[in-house]
Amino acid sequence: MSFEGRDILTTEDLSKEEILEIMNVTAKMEELCRTQHVSDLLADKVAAVLFLEPSTRTRLSFETAIKRLGAKSITVADAKTSSAAKGESLADTARTVEGYVDCIVVRQPVIGGAKEMADAVSIPVLNGGDGAGQHPTQALLDLYTIQKEKGKLGKQKVAMVGDLKFGRTVHSLAYALAPFEPAEYVFCAPDILQMPDDIIGDMADKGIACRKTDAIEEALQADVLYMTRIQKERFQDPAEYESLKGSYILNRALLEKGNKDLTIMHPLPRVDEINTDVDALPNAAYFRQAHNGVFLRMALLAMVMGRA
**Counting Cβ atoms within 10 Å, is residue 207 exposed (0-12), middle (13-18) or buried (19+)?**
exposed
Those residues whose C-beta lies under 8 Å from the C-beta of residue 20, and which sit 6 or more positions away, are: none
Is the Cβ of residue 94 or residue 105 nearer to ligand CP in the bound state? 105
Cβ(34)–Cβ(68) under 8 Å?
Answer: no
CB of residue 155 to ligand CP, shortest distance in Å: 26
Size of the site for ligand CP (CB under 6 A): 9
Angstrom distance (rounded) from CA 297 to CA 1: 18
Is 86 among the residues known to form the active site? yes
Task: Show the binding pattern over residues 116-145: x = contacts ligand CP (CB under 6 A), - = does not.
Answer: -------------x--------x-------
Stretch that binds ligand CP, among 55-63, 232-240, 275-283, 295-303 (CB under 6 A): 55-63
Segment lying near ligand CP (by CB under 6 A), choices 52-60, 69-77, 210-218, 225-233? 52-60
Q: Do residues 306 and 283 touch, judged by C-beta distance below 8 A?
A: no
Query: Smallest distance from the beta carbon of 269 to ligand CP, in angstroms?
Result: 6
Smallest gap, in angstroms, from Cβ of residue 103 to ligand CP?
Answer: 18
Q: How far is the CB of 281 from ligand CP (least distance, A)?
A: 20
Contact in structure between 127 and 9 (CB atoms under 8 Å)? yes
| Chosen residue from 267, 284, 295, 303 binding ligand CP by CB under 6 A | 267
**Whole-number minimum distance, CB 174 to ligand CP, in Å?**
16
A 10 A CB-CB count for 44 gives 12
Contacts of 268 (CB under 8 A, 6+ apart): 56, 57, 286, 289, 290
Whether 171 is a known active-site residue: answer: no
Shortest distance, position 178 Cβ to ligand CP, whole Å = 20
Stretch of residues binding ligand CP (CB under 6 A), selected from 175-183, 208-216, 228-236, 263-271: 263-271
Q: Is 107 a catalytic residue?
A: yes
Nearer to ligand CP, 128 or 182 (CB): 128
Other beta carbons within 10 angstroms of residue 253's beta carbon come to 9
Per rule CB under 6 A, is residue 57 in the interface with ligand CP?
A: yes
Burial of 214 (0-12, 13-18, 19+ CB in 10 A): middle
With beta carbons less than 8 A apart as the criterion, state whether 170 and 231 touch. no
Other beta carbons less than 10 A from residue 10's beta carbon: 21
Q: What mask, x for binding ligand CP by CB under 6 A, covers residues 149 to 188?
A: ----------------------------------------
CA angle 39-43-48, nearest 5°? 110
Active-site pick, 45, 107, 115, 266: 107
**CA 185 distance to own-chain centroid:** 17
Catalytic residue among 6, 45, 59, 135: 135
Task: Name the residues annotated as catalytic.
Answer: 57-58, 86, 107, 135
The residues that touch ligand CP, with contacts defined as CB under 6 A, are: 55-58, 129, 138, 267-269
